[in-house]
Structure 1
Amino acid sequence: MKSSRLLPLLALTLAGATARAHLPPLDAKYMLGSEPVAFETRLNFFLPAVAGSTGPTPPLAAPFAAFAPKVGVRWDEKYLYVEAKGLPDHPLMAGIKSWQQQVPIPQTYSGESAWKIPLHPVPAKEPLTAKTHFMRGAIALAANGVPIFNALNNRGDDAKKFGELDDFGGHCGKGDDYHYHDAPVFLEKTLGKGKPIAVALDGYPIYGYNEPEGGATGKLDDFGGHETKALGYHYHAQKVYPYINGGFHGEVTEIGGQVDPQPSASHVRKEGSAYSQSPLRGALIKDFTASPDGKNYELHYTLNGKSLGVKYTANEDGTWTFIYSKPDGTTETETYKPGERRPGGQGAPGGERPKGGKGGDSKGKGGKRPPANEPDGAKGEVGVTGEQTPPGPGEADRPRGERPKGGKGKGGKGGPGDPSGLIKPSPTDALKLNVYADNWFILFINGKLRVVDPIEYMPHNVVSVDIMPEYPMTIAVMAMDNADPKTGLEYGNHIGDAGLIIKFSDGTVTNAKWKAKSFFKGPLNRDTANPKVRHDPLPANWYAVDFDDSGWAAATEFTEERVGPKESFQQARESFTGAKFIWSEDLDLDNTVLFRTKVEAPAGYKQRWTAKPEIDMVETTKQLLNR
């Protein structure tokens, strides 16, 4: 895009910018007679003046300038940085019929966590579609500083058609972050006709339904864009799916299902007795209000005809206090400290990353694990994406090498009548194994059945057991999502998602080094109206040590935000330090997935005990599975 093409637009837009952000004129449906309905959503917190920019003002800054000082911009030679709180001036949340109990909270899209948009977009050699990519995170940024997400929610459903959006096409995510899933064409009332209403994260501008001069757009490509002599390549809003850019004409980097880098949401609340991220059936949001100083908020809704609400306050010490009204007339109060629920996503924008049309992934390398008689870090620790990682809190007493022999009673030398030199294992020789699966799993080690998830559906649970190490360990897992075997759907007509995360106390963790293969997929092509599925037969002895998995693909890592683990995982988070959520490539449609990996003994490890079990668990496992 040539700078000269947008310079006239920049001059016009900057001339219309005022000392405070504009409130877009209300649509007719918000008018009672000749007087507008009063909505107290204007917030008087402003971003400080953004300094440090170099060079002339880039044309891409023009759309955001109309919303100064609530939206700030700075730039360098390569990028435009946009800072905002993420809360618009228009009414929020009203009209949402499918609500997962999130509310709007100001975000900190500033400093190192500002939005980072390339000033010189480059067409991608292999453009990526939003139909199968970018199911989480933003794909564009509206001129008022509000992120715009894929029109499909993280289940792959059209969020607009499912009643999840308010009257302005937005709602809140799991981090209580407000964002749009629809094109914010109403911003033209502030910007003026013919001005970009947003900018895609590949750097190309997004215009309204028509060309700037008012004419029809003509034919658009699969991403909702085209190229003209006046503007070069640009996107347009559309009245039907995908509503906004349906992918990226330009180069972007995809990591964990989102454009990277981009800011993470604040994630103030964690699930508990008063708050859940489960859909609240029968709820209808009526309105949302905020005090002018941006410290007090109220959201009102009806539940099966009864009026309820959530009041919340930003406290001086950085905590947030929420008061939840209950159907029985009582209230419940909870105070949250930011950071108690770790943000998902890839974190704040950092330095440059390699670009490309194909999705990327983040991997790191680490050194060898220190011997057991040396402190962690003495000779280099294994990185978090390595085969093994340092143990988490409370795991330091687990075996990672040779232990003193002998001792009395259980776990010591053999008792009277035992063979000379017999040493039995003790509880301290065991490894602690923690598993969280959405929804169910069964785990084998060296061909032996070791763990079966006792709850096949809800609530999602963390399974924690003791395992005797027997290196090398071939670990095989079957994980299943909650899906109808005939349709691949859950809850009648919804596409679910899945996820698996594992950590042993010797540092063995799930990551992209594991192998994964799907054996039940559906609904094919995400067709929920006429769902079809594909079942492939499970291979014989897939859990055995000598099974050949060389043809299987590597597991795909997913962020916590994409998987959305429940409260049981949040409470046991430290037990999974260094582990990654994994699945096959398609987290939504692959419903039964087998995983395998092989783990060698940690450096310096030597088995302390000499006793061996009399039970042949390999044979017992075969007998169990053949019945």
Structure 2
Amino acid sequence: MKNSLTLLTILLIFSCGKNKTKTTETELTSSQETVTYKGTASITQGIASTIAENIYTCERGRKTDIGEITSTDGKKWTVPSLTNYTNTDFPFAPDLFNSCEGKNYATSEEALSDYDDSKIIEIDENGALFTAYIFADNYFEMFVNGIPVGKDKVPFTEFNASIVKFKAKKPFTIAMKLVDWEEHLGVGCEPNRGKSFHAGDGGMVAVIKDDQNNIIATTNEGWKAQTFYTAPVTDLDCVSEDGTYRYSQNCNTDGGQDGSSFYALHWELPNYWMKTNFDDANWPNATTYTNQTIGVDNKPAYTNFTSIFDNSENDAKFIWSTNVVLDNEVIVRYTIK
């Protein structure tokens, strides 16, 4: 780490009310300046150590590594996220489109014709059959009522899309971990557009259909979305919090040629966030984004299936937290009644 950080003071302030939030006032000293951060996140600075290389390889894909970094309060963080990708008990979602593995389906009918029904996950005995169509930039893990039903085969690129089939009884709750992967571990960056450290962006869209091919749910602002990892942050004064709302819209997203001084904010995921009875009432609603903002108009993993994602009567929206560029690990939740 190029600039060392010294933790001088930590002040814990507990707020009143049903949901108590720990606020930390941290004064950090680098070789250049002293900065003060007021918020609930743990802070890291600089590049993480690589602990796993190339967990997935694709001929034209970006390098998919995992890293670890220690924050100023002594906690260790896995970046870009602690996932179930290498957990063999968590099923991979079958392909809607996956050029890395030659699954270049032109239509959903073509993809479904190759679907192996043994991949259907049973949530409830005698439950109805539902099909989820998902495009995630970059990675997702999906739970229904706390049960794993599918994870993304391609953590980073090339861009792919997935099908998840499951049997459940209404109401049921969908919970998903979404990850915007990174090549420069710990600072949310990748080489792009002439910059060595360019901030990536996220985005996820999903459509859920019943066994009669009717759309019963789409991603929109009715979903809940909370961020747990924000980077790169060049100035800690740009971030703020209001209750459970975590804002970084005022932060610079220009990136640069050297990210060794960039900060990152980390929040611990709550226990049982994927369970039906988890209380997300105070979480922010998801923010929606256009196809143009996410940049999918030239990606066949999306454009081959616009009849599903951009249905003229029930258009699904890309969702994320309040900052689709800087927020790299996001949990979304929605209950279908």
* TM-score in terms of structure 2 length: 0.50
Give the match for residue 317 of structure 2. Answer: 580
Give the match for residue 268 of structure 2. Answer: 537
| Paired amino acid for 1:451 | G
Q: CA deviation at 1:562?
A: 0.4
Cα RMSD after superposing both structures: 2.4
| Paired amino acid for 1:521 | T
Q: CA deviation at 1:425?
A: 5.4
Pairing of 1:82-93 with structure 2 (within 5 A) = none
Pairing of 1:77-476 with structure 2 (within 5 A) = 429-476=128-175
Q: Does 1:503 align with 2:234?
A: no
Distance 1:532 1:470 in 2: 44
Give the match for residue 380 of structure 1. Answer: none
Distance 2:264 2:221 in 1: 26
Q: CA deviation at 1:552?
A: 0.6
Distance 1:465 1:583 in 2: 20
Q: Specify which of 580, 596, 606 is matched with residue 333 of structure 2.
A: 596
Query: Per the alignment, in what secondary structure is the counterpart of residue 308 of structure 2?
Result: helix
Query: Per the alignment, in what secondary structure is the counterpart of residue 457 of structure 1?
Result: coil
| Paired amino acid for 2:224 | K
Asked if the contact 1:488/1:532 (under 8 Å) is kept, the reply is no
| Paired amino acid for 2:186 | K
542 and 469 in structure 1: CA distance in 2 versus 1, 3 angstrom threshold: same
Asked if the contact 2:149/2:164 (under 8 Å) is kept, the reply is no
Q: CA deviation at 1:535?
A: 1.0
Gaps of 5+ in 1: 1-277, 279-392, 395-423, 601-627
Q: Does 1:568 align with 2:301?
A: yes
Query: Per the alignment, in what secondary structure is the counterpart of residue 562 of structure 1?
Result: helix
| Paired amino acid for 1:563 | I
Give the match for residue 24 of structure 2. Answer: none
Query: Per the alignment, in what secondary structure is the counterpart of residue 173 of structure 2?
Result: strand
Q: Specify which of 278, 281, 291 is matched with residue 550 of structure 1.
A: 281
Distance 1:532 1:563 in 2: 24
Deviations 1:437-466 (A, max 9, x none): 000000001111111111111111110132
| Paired amino acid for 1:544 | K
Distance 2:189 2:207 in 1: 29
Among the aligned pairs, what percent are the same residue? 30
Asked if the contact 2:290/2:318 (under 8 Å) is kept, the reply is yes
| Paired amino acid for 2:206 | I
Distance 2:218 2:168 in 1: 15
Query: Per the alignment, in what secondary structure is the counterpart of residue 444 of structure 1?
Result: strand
Distance 1:556 1:523 in 2: 20
Q: Does 1:520 align with 2:224?
A: no
Distance 1:464 1:511 in 2: 19
Asked if the contact 2:225/2:321 (under 8 Å) is kept, the reply is yes
Query: Per the alignment, in what secondary structure is the counterpart of residue 521 of structure 1?
Result: strand
Deviations 1:194-228 (A, max 9, x none): xxxxxxxxxxxxxxxxxxxxxxxxxxxxxxxxxxx
Give the match for residue 181 of structure 2. Answer: 482
Q: CA deviation at 1:589?
A: 0.2
Deviations 1:474-519 (A, max 9, x none): 1100000022441111124111111000111132110000000000
Q: CA deviation at 1:469?
A: 2.9
Bigger CA radius of gyration = 1
Distance 1:469 1:586 in 2: 33
Q: CA deviation at 1:468?
A: 1.1
Gaps of 5+ in 2: 1-61, 63-107, 110-124, 211-215, 234-250
Distance 2:186 2:141 in 1: 22
Distance 1:585 1:440 in 2: 18
Distance 2:175 2:275 in 1: 8
Distance 2:166 2:304 in 1: 22
Q: CA deviation at 1:564?
A: 0.9
Distance 2:173 2:157 in 1: 29
| Paired amino acid for 2:177 | M
Asked if the contact 1:488/1:531 (under 8 Å) is kept, the reply is no
Deviations 1:51-94 (A, max 9, x none): xxxxxxxxxxxxxxxxxxxxxxxxxxxxxxxxxxxxxxxxxxxx
Give the strand-richer structure, 1 or 2: 2
Distance 1:479 1:497 in 2: 12
Distance 2:334 2:130 in 1: 17
Q: How many residues align?
A: 180
Distance 1:589 1:468 in 2: 35
Query: Per the alignment, in what secondary structure is the counterpart of residue 594 of structure 1?
Result: strand
| Paired amino acid for 2:276 | V
Mean Cα displacement is larger for which, 452-461 or 527-536?
527-536
Query: Per the alignment, in what secondary structure is the counterpart of residue 431 of structure 1?
Result: strand
| Paired amino acid for 2:147 | K
Distance 1:469 1:573 in 2: 26
Distance 2:131 2:178 in 1: 20
Q: CA deviation at 1:548?
A: 1.0
Distance 1:457 1:523 in 2: 18
Query: Per the alignment, in what secondary structure is the counterpart of residue 303 of structure 2?
Result: helix
| Paired amino acid for 2:290 | T
Q: CA deviation at 1:431?
A: 1.6
Query: Per the alignment, in what secondary structure is the counterpart of residue 587 of structure 1?
Result: coil
Deviations 1:32-62 (A, max 9, x none): xxxxxxxxxxxxxxxxxxxxxxxxxxxxxxx
Distance 2:225 2:300 in 1: 26
Query: Per the alignment, in what secondary structure is the counterpart of residue 508 of structure 1?
Result: strand
Asked if the contact 1:472/1:598 (under 8 Å) is kept, the reply is yes
Distance 2:154 2:188 in 1: 20
Query: Per the alignment, in what secondary structure is the counterpart of residue 533 of structure 1?
Result: strand
